[in-house]
Amino acid sequence: MEDVLIIGGREIKNRLFIGTGKFSDYLLMKKALEASGAEVVTVAVRRVDASSKKDNILNYIPEGRYIMSNTSGARNAEEAVRIARLAKAAGAGDWVKIEVIQDNKYLLPDNMETLKATETLVKEGFKVFPYMSPDLSMARRLVDAGASAVMPLGSPIGSNRGVKTRELVEIMVREIKIPVIVDAGLGRPSDAGECMELGCAAVLVNTAIAIAEDPAGMAKAFSLAVQAGRLAYLSGIPSESLRANASSPLTGFLRDTQ
Amino acid sequence: MQIKINGKRETVQSSLSLGELILGKGLTPEHIVVEHNYNIIAQEEWGKITVRDNDNIEIISFVGGG
């Protein structure tokens, strides 16, 4: 039986979600998306600069991928809700990642405002994916508010520091019944693999792919790591032990016994 | 008359429709969303809205983001 992620009213086979920011050009971004096979792609919403003749980014997102607009730029729930509505009206579909940040140094999300925005947008029929700091009680509130998943950060956005929040993410995976998707700070494929081994439903990666020397290669590497981590999780990872447990038999040794 | 477009004050001729304003900027309607005085206006309605003095207009589209 195929391992499919059922989320936000859809069936997703590729558990690597990719962000489209920071690529040096849209063509490179397209190659990375193709190389990874990622089905879910995030975009941001901004004022149009009429003077810059920039291409429409949607022309560079391969066919059949799902767009998840993010509310980046929002400093409170009201701004997030406004951005989400604009994104939907611009044709992004009903999936939205809530990103509410007031902290410019670490870009850590404001969980309270994120909850407020989630409550409003769920009622308006959005499938809401809140980006959050991994606090279990807030995650429970987001579940009650009707979020489609919770998206705890691994480490600060763009920091490539990996799953520094591992312990808290692990708790969330055990206690939260909706998909847990680690988003932000994953710096290398093994970080993504680590999240999947913990039991996360998916991961969202942007910077580590976009600024790699070879984004398409890195996107593929991440995709493979996500598959490996997921298969490992499904296969039952053995627990750790303080002392050794011999791998070869302890009998029939080739030695004289007195 | 004076209006605000994407946060900047601009002088535009009167009795311009929203649609005319946007096309006048050389923008194609594909995947652009327009907010007129904080109301999202569907593309079909752009031609029906006349821009007035002190209107606040946001012209928005998608860009790369995480």
Neighbours of A175 (CB within 10 A): 12
Q: Pick from B6, B62, B66: which is nearest to A206 by CB?
A: B66
The 3-state DSSP class for residue B56 equals strand
Check residue A157 and give its pLDDT: 97
CB contact under 8 A, B64 and A22: yes
Nearest 5°: the CA angle A115, A120, A123 is 125
Q: What is the tens place of the pLDDT at every residue in A213-246?
A: 999 999 999 999 999 999 999 999 999 999 999 9
Instruction: Identify the DSSP state of B6.
Output: T
Helix (H) or strand (E) holding B35: strand B32-36
pTM exceeds cut of 0.90: yes
Q: Which of A16, A73, A62 is nearest to A40 (CA)?
A: A16
Check residue A129 and give its pLDDT: 98
Check residue A256 and give its pLDDT: 81
Q: What is the tens place of the pLDDT at every residue in B42-65?
A: 889 999 999 999 999 999 999 999
Q: Which of B60, B2, B51, B42 is nearest to A44 (CA)?
A: B60
Distance from CA of A44 to the nearest CA of B (A): 5
ipTM computed for the complex? 0.92
**Phi/psi of residue A180, each to 5°?**
-110, 120
Residue with tokens 């705890």: A152
The reply to whether B16 touches chain A by the CB within 8 Å rule is no
Check residue A8 and give its pLDDT: 95
Check residue A50 and give its pLDDT: 76
Cβ atoms of residues A148 and A184 within 8 Å: no
Q: What percent of chain B has pLDDT over 90?
A: 71
Catalytic residue annotation of A = 97
- Considering chain B, what is the average pLDDT of its residues? 91
Q: Which residue has the higher pLDDT, B23 or A147?
A: A147
**Ranges under pLDDT 70 in chain A:** 53, 258
Give dist(CA A188, CA A208) in Å, integer.
7
Check residue A30 and give its pLDDT: 97
**Phi/psi of residue A82, each to 5°?**
-60, -45
Measured N-to-C along each axis, helices A166-175 and A189-198 cross at an angle, to the nearest 10 degrees, of 40
Check residue B31 and give its pLDDT: 79
Residues of chain A contacting B30 with CB distance shorter than 8 Å: 56
Check residue A258 and give its pLDDT: 62
Cα A41 off chain centre by: 10
Interface probe with B: pick from A46, A48, A85, A159, most Cβ of B within 10 Å: A48
Check residue A99 and give its pLDDT: 98
Cβ atoms of residues B45 and B29 within 8 Å: no
Burial (CB count within 10 angstroms: exposed 0-12, middle 13-18, buried 19+), residue B61: buried
Cα A43 to Cα A27, A46, A241: the distances in Å are 15, 10, 44
Check residue A51 and give its pLDDT: 77
Check residue B15 and give its pLDDT: 85
